[in-house]
Amino acid sequence: MIYTHAACLQHCPGPGHPESPDRLKAVLRALDAPVFAAIPRVEAPLVDRALIDRVHPGVEYAQIFAHAPRVQTLRLDSDTVLHPAADSLEAALRGAGAVVAAVDAVLDGHTRRAFCAVRPPGHHATPERAMGFCIFNNVALGARRALDRGLERVAVLDFDVHHGNGTQDCFDRDARVLFASSHQWPLYPGSGALTETGVGNIFNGHLPAGSGPREFRAVWSEQLLPAVERFRPQLFLVSAGFDAHRLDPLGGLDVETADYAWLTHNIVALADRHAEGRVVSTLEGGYSLTALAEAGAAHVRALFGLAD
């Protein structure tokens, strides 16, 4: 299943902002190719407020709900803006709702794989505050839903060029969730050091500026995927950011489109062994429209086992 919603195109952080509606438009155009025609499309619902309050108990989140319906612009940090605020809030609620609904769908046996073509992204949003273009932590809300439904082991795999500090903060004391991230080091937001290991459930892989296919594949095949294999997750969640691509203007890595397909094939193989094939992936970063369309399509083809 592919989850999306027109509201996710209405979030406009401002002229020239890299996290623009054009990003999602590029992904959706790529997914209109005939190869994807048989994948059911599902309209993303609104996420339940009670679940948000459990994952994001910070005072800032209560203020978002209080102020967004009443103001035109709500600035949360230098990079994170709700404008127009009510439309941006709906987009964020639909983005998070997509991941939660997809988790329900795979756990209920309606599908084994799902991709959430949504925005704004989520992996920088911490329990206390929105930041780094992210309002709610979509993948963390999905993981919380899975735990609430009785799963004992959930893995979150994040290959965005930026470290998913918010996701790590949500679960670094919860051994039921493994978080594995490859990211450029050093780079925003400055977290993701090798010494950040949580309760033995956090695995960070560093990629120095200029790293390309060899380094990207090595950090996953030699460090991160073996840790995931040992954990034997019952569900795989993927923070699918494509800004490690060599064309991306905000990253400094040289990953190729084929590397995303390679990693996705490996994730699916692990899911088939340990999780009844259950994988939910959601869009994170990626700011070259060309790379985003190409790599996003390659990821979805591999996720659903479609021919190139």
The residues that are catalytic are 124
For residue 237, report the phi and psi dihedrals to the nearest 5 degrees: -115, 140
Start-end of H helices in the chain: 21-30, 49-55, 59-67, 85-107, 138-148, 165-171, 213-218, 225-231, 257-274, 289-303
- One-character DSSP codes across 42-99: EEPPPPPHHHHHHH--SHHHHHHHHHTTT-S-EE-SSS-EESSHHHHHHHHHHHHHHH
Structure tokens at 237: 């969640």
CA proximity to 14, closest of 99, 76, 73, 86: 73
